Chains A and B, each alone.
Chain A
Amino acid sequence: MKKTILFSIIVVILCSCNNNGKNDNNSNPDMSVSGAGATFPYPYYNIVFRDYMRINPGIVVNYGAIGSGGGIRSLRDKSVDFGASDAFLTEKEIASMPEVVHIATCMGGVVMAYTLPEIDNLRLTGPIVADIYMGKITRWDDKRIRAENPSIKLPDLEITPVYRSDGSGTTFAFSEYLCKVSPEWKSIMGKGKALKWDAGIAAKGNPGVAGIVQQTPGAIGYIGSEFALTLKLPTAKIKNKFGNYIAANLESISAAANVDLPDDMRATISDSADPNAYPMSLFTWLLVFKDQQYDKRTKQEAQELMNLLEYIISSEGQGVAAQINYAPLSEQAVKKTQTLIESIHYGNEPLKFHIESDTVKQTTDSLDLAVDNSIDR
């Protein structure tokens, strides 16, 4: 009896070893590009990378949505080929690693979702939002909210501000905008991926905040636009620099980048100078090393990364973004980003731009497997 058990254990172990070997062969085609970072653009990357793998058989793109901070850390440790972040690198972070280029991939917004009985056309201003989150405006029928919404009868209800309990690029974009429009916010709260809050309650991730807002009458929460637009949550129109009340949608978010952008694309586009722009808009970036010759990286690997970046900012890649409620880059942003991609090099050698990747044809089986893997993630 014992012998049979021992024998079967050994058999099982051997079998599993064998299987592992097989799997490795299948899921390791000739090229793989891996990245990690921000969760905000994750649904977009998921689809754009899958499309890219369909077009370029033999290449596997892996992306781990571990958060912007984790993405930057992984890039610094060189455990990934690209990092992803919703906030551009700080001077301190730039100093801690070799030169990095910021490749803007798409745009998003931060929207104010709320739940108020029978009200779906709320209008707010930046300073009002700031005061709600600082606990200065605590009831929905406050005279300042009434002044912005003369046509609405606001209920006598407590406001429950909901914020992100985890560090988040959404919080960064939100607080960055409020710093611009409210001096008091700037001095008391400041900006960052995580803040010290005095009012409200917190939840993890966009789904957490959206869940609480939807389930709590009188709640208001800031949420990534792609999430709110997909769920069709009621969101407030925000008054921009020009006094226009702008609803968050793909056009109004893209419009925020119709301004002069710096050459390195490290720009915040909140409180944009465009009259039709939604004020709380942001870029999200992929971060790659400018010099791709490091560690044991081959030139071909670097070239594959280039091709991928190029695909993302192509009209095809940007079209995918719009389909799933991410705002496509404005024309000017695409141009600047193209120049940045061209600046990436491999040691002293330049990398090819606008090139058809000459990839090894793989059987459709292994391609499907690769695609499945990426979805599971």
Chain B
Amino acid sequence: MKDKIFKGLLFFSAIFILILTAGIIYALVARSLESFQEYGIWGFVNNSEWDPRSATEEYGALSFVVGTLYTSFFALLICIPFSFAVALFTGEYFKGRKVASVVSSIVDLLAGIPSIVFGLWGFYSIRPLAIELGVNAQGFGIFTSSVVLAVMIIPYASSLSSEYLRMVPKNLKEGAYSLGATRLEVITNVSLPMASSGIVSSFILALGRALGETMAVTMLIGNTNNIPSGLRDTGNTMASVIANQFGEADGLKLSSLIAIGLLLFIITAIINLIAKLIMNKLTNV
């Protein structure tokens, strides 16, 4: 009897989550229809105009899509060497030792810091640095937000990749050592190839985190509705434009913002799906 209740409870919560997700997708699609009907799906995605003035009203998502991809990929690029080093440190070199668990729990702590705190840190610490470096006169823009984003996603990438490094079978590594391989040779020839797809998928998951990050980016990117011309330029991401403009939006603008939300949902879903596929391939090997 108890078993049945427990099973029913599990079944219910699983179905509930499914229904919830379906509801979110339905709401996003239904409310973005107005915008898609006005511009067409491709016309909306491939248009960089964002003009909220009622006389010349026109909305397109391209500058925000570009801004999002720009910041996220640059953040990923910065994050790779750091999280890779942390992963090797905790998952290989000092595996199982106290220092490894201290380092990994401190890095994991980064994931628990609220995004607004990262935003403030960027605002008061990274931004003056960017001005010093001569990125631009105000320090806001793609560069500053990417740096802060990179720090934010390090724990996601590093903890997963060190997990995969730890999963490399011990006897394989011992076999390599017995053949006279050095530690570096074991890492490059045994551990990394074995864990590579897991590591790649952990970085892709981190990228997914970066895509949706809102608060810290909103505070640092400059919020200008144009396609960023480079790292020094200001821009806007899909999440930050929604955060900025949702409150006062109405009619077509509201619908366009929801359409951007739908696009973000789709992009993040695709990124996560790719990571899942790579991970599945790994477990099948």
Contacts and interface: CB of A to CB of B under 8 A. Distances in A.
On whether the two chains bind one another, the answer is yes
Interface of A: 2, 66-70, 73, 158, 160, 165-168, 190, 192-197, 200-204, 208, 211-212, 215-216, 218-219
Contacts of A216: 137-139
Given A160-B137, A192-B54, A211-B123, A166 B244 contact: yes
Contact of B53 (A67, A70, A192): A192
Interface string B220-233: 00111100000000
Interface string B51-93: 1111110000000000000000000000000000000000000
Given A166-B245, A194-B53, A212-B140, 17 more contacts: A69-B249, A69-B250, A73-B250, A158-B137, A160-B138, A165-B236, A165-B245, A166-B247, A194-B245, A194-B248, A196-B52, A201-B138, A201-B222, A204-B223, A215-B127, A216-B137, A216-B139
A244 to B, nearest CB: 32
28 contacts: A2-B2, A70-B247, A73-B250, A158-B137, A160-B137, A190-B53, A190-B56, A192-B52, A193-B248, A194-B52, A194-B53, A195-B52, A196-B52, A197-B224, A197-B225, A201-B138, A201-B223, A201-B224, A201-B234, A203-B219, A203-B223, A204-B218, A204-B244, A211-B123, A215-B123, A216-B138, A216-B139, A218-B137
B243 interface: yes
Contacts of A168: 248
Contacts of B137: 158, 160, 216, 218
Contacts of B52: 167, 192-196
Contacts of B51: 196
B39 interface: no
B36 interface: no
Given A167-B52, A218-B137, A219-B138, A70 B218 contact: no
A103 to B, nearest CB: 21
Contacts of B124: 215
Interface residues of B, number: 30
B50 interface: yes
Contacts of A215: 123-124, 127
Give the interface centre of B56, B137, B236 by most chain A CB atoms within 10 Å. B137
Contacts of A160: 137-138
Nearest to B254: A69
Contacts of B250: 69, 73
A73 B53 CA distance: 18
A66 B246 CA distance: 10
Contacts of B243: 204
B248 A68 contact: yes
A196 B55 contact: no
Contacts of A167: 52, 245, 247-249
Interface string B1-39: 010000000000000000000000000000000000000
A73 B246 CA distance: 13
Nearest to A191: B53
A196 B50 contact: yes
Nearest to A199: B224
Nearest to B222: A201
B245 A201 contact: no
Given A194-B52, A216-B138, A69 B248 contact: yes
A152 B218 CA distance: 36
Contact of A67 (B123, B225, B236, B247): B247
A43 B256 CA distance: 31
Contacts of A196: 50-53, 56, 225
Contact of A190 (B55, B222, B248): B55
Interface string B239-268: 000011101111000000000000000000
Interface string B194-229: 000000000000000000000000110011110000
A202 B127 contact: no
B152 to A, nearest CB: 20
A202 B224 contact: yes
Contacts of B247: 66-67, 69-70, 166-167
B53 A212 contact: no
A160 B224 CA distance: 13
Contacts of A202: 222-224, 244
Contacts of A211: 123
Give the interface centre of B51, B224, B236, B248 by most chain A CB atoms within 10 Å. B248
A216 to B, nearest CB: 5
